[in-house]
Amino acid sequence: MLVVLLAAPMALAATMGSNKGRDSRHYWGANMTVPKSFQNMGTVNIAGVGEVYVVTNTPGNVQMVDGGFRLSGGGRVYFATKAAADFSDAFMYWQAPLLGKHISYTVDVSNVGCHCNAAFYFVQMPGYDSSQNVWAGPGGDWYCDANHVNDNWCPEFDTFEGNKETMNIALHTCDYVAPNFYPHCDGGGCGTNACQGIAGQYGPGRTIDTNQPFQISHAQVQGGDGLMSAANAWFQSGSDTTDYNGCSDSNYVKNMGYSLNGIVAAFSLWGGPDIDMGWLDGCTGCGGTCNLGASSVTWSGFTLGANKDAPNPKVRNNLL
């Protein structure tokens, strides 16, 4: 049976174009083998979870820092639960249980300029083929997302795609053939940019001052039906706080919840002079092109916990 979980046309129209250049954040292996560059860089502690491994197929772009890691000049990172050197295990990745919980961290995007994209997002890896078999894809690492990168479709939850000028939250649902295959996904998704969600509050020298590290908490609020009723992002910079919800289509938000009981964390830094990033930061009026080689982003201080313990009082008190 084919179950369709796609956004309404209005939501699609509002976010079309957000898939441009997405394939640049994937680094291909050869002949359906795991890239030889795949490495375990070390561990980070996620409060409420414990130690997870930082794995990447672009080790030259990753530097471990206290409580986290830095991506410089591009690259992508996953969290994994197995330290073994056998990266041929499709199920080595940490499956984050997000529904009804918040994931919080500190991010520094002060060195991520206009038209560059530092992303912390979740995808329902590993990918599967139409025969319901786990499939590595041409890249060899089972990567999948809502824009068919690595020739694999799967639901994608973009909790943070941004730079020092703005950021965006986007949900991407898919057609579904039980138990594991996704024949097509909504690449445009249902999203909300900080330009609209917290207009005038995010950016260099603003309420959420992106010239400095700041804290974010993403809360996946669970409704009475057991699915997601709100995708909230809360920000703190110094003593200043603000928050907003991503995606105004309640049915779309609900459908995204089906994918959040176990979903893989991924991080990337991408962009370039030939990639149209207007969908992300065109609303700011910032100019120039992304100097990816000179860019860097740092993530640290991770926590995963129940929403009753979230830093956002609206989430704690169920006021969203």
DSSP string across 166-195 = -EEEEEE-B-EETTTB-S-B-SS-EEEEHH
DSSP state of 20: T
Buried b (16+ CB within 10 A) or exposed e, 10-31: ebbebbeebbbbbebbbbebee
Residue bearing tokens 């083929």:
129
pLDDT tens across 56-83, in order? 989 999 999 999 999 999 999 999 997 6
Q: Which residues contact 199 (CB under 8 A, 6 or more apart)?
A: none
Q: What is the pLDDT of residues 230-280, one digit of tens each?
A: 999 999 999 999 999 999 999 999 999 999 999 999 999 999 888 999 999
Higher pLDDT, 28 or 210: 210
Structure confidence at residue 272 (pLDDT): 87
Calpha distance 172→255 (Å, rounded): 9
Q: Residue 6 — pLDDT band, cuts 50, 70, 90?
A: very low
Band of residue 34 on the pLDDT scale cut at 50, 70, 90: low
* Residues 297, 107 contacting (CB under 8 angstroms): yes
pLDDT in tens, 79-126: 999 765 567 789 999 999 999 999 999 999 999 999 999 999 999 999
Would you say residue 37 has pLDDT above 80? no
pLDDT, tens only, 288-306: 999 999 999 999 999 999 9
The CA dihedral of 207, 213, 214, 218, to the nearest 10 degrees, is: 130
Q: How many structural domains is the chain composed of?
A: 1
**Burial (CB count within 10 angstroms: exposed 0-12, middle 13-18, buried 19+), residue 45:** middle
Q: Tokens standing for 5?
A: 């979980």
Identify whether the C-beta of residue 244 lies closer than 8 Å to the C-beta of residue 194.
yes
Residue 235 lies in a domain: no
Average confidence (pLDDT) over 168-184: 97
Tokens of 287: 């100019």
pLDDT(142) > 80 = yes
In a domain, residue 316? The reply is no
Identify whether 130 is part of a domain. Answer: yes
> Which residues 6+ apart lie within 8 Å of 224 measured at CB?
none
3-state secondary structure of 79: strand
Span 200-211, mean pLDDT? 98
- Domain annotation covers residue 127: yes
Conformational region of residue 293, where left means phi above 0, alpha means psi within -120 to 50, and beta covers everything else? alpha
Considering the domain boundaries, does residue 315 fall inside one? no
Residue 192 lies in a domain: yes
Residue pair 299/267 in contact by the 8 Å Cβ criterion:
yes
Task: Report, as an integer, the average pLDDT of 2-11.
Answer: 38
List the domain range (segments joined by +) for residue 68: 2-97+110-200+260-298
pLDDT at 86: 61
Partners of 162 in the β-ladder: 118, 167
Q: Which residues contact 296 (CB under 8 A, 6 or more apart)?
A: 70, 71, 72, 73, 111, 112, 269
Domain for residue 244, yes or no?
no
Mean pLDDT lowest among 31-35, 147-151, 256-260: 31-35
Residue-level pLDDT at 53: 94
The pLDDT mean for the chain works out to: 89
Secondary structure class of 280 (helix, strand, coil): helix
pLDDT at 1: 40
For residue 84, with 0-12 CB atoms within 10 Å meaning exposed, 13-18 middle and 19 or more buried, which class applies?
Answer: exposed
Mean pLDDT computed over 131-157: 93
Residue 123 placed within a domain: yes
Q: Examine the pLDDT at 320 and tell me if it is beyond 80.
A: yes
Residue 68 CA from chain centroid, whole number: 16
Higher per-residue pLDDT: 211 or 17? 211
Q: Residue 138 has what pLDDT?
A: 87
pLDDT tens per residue across span 213-229: 999 999 999 998 999 99
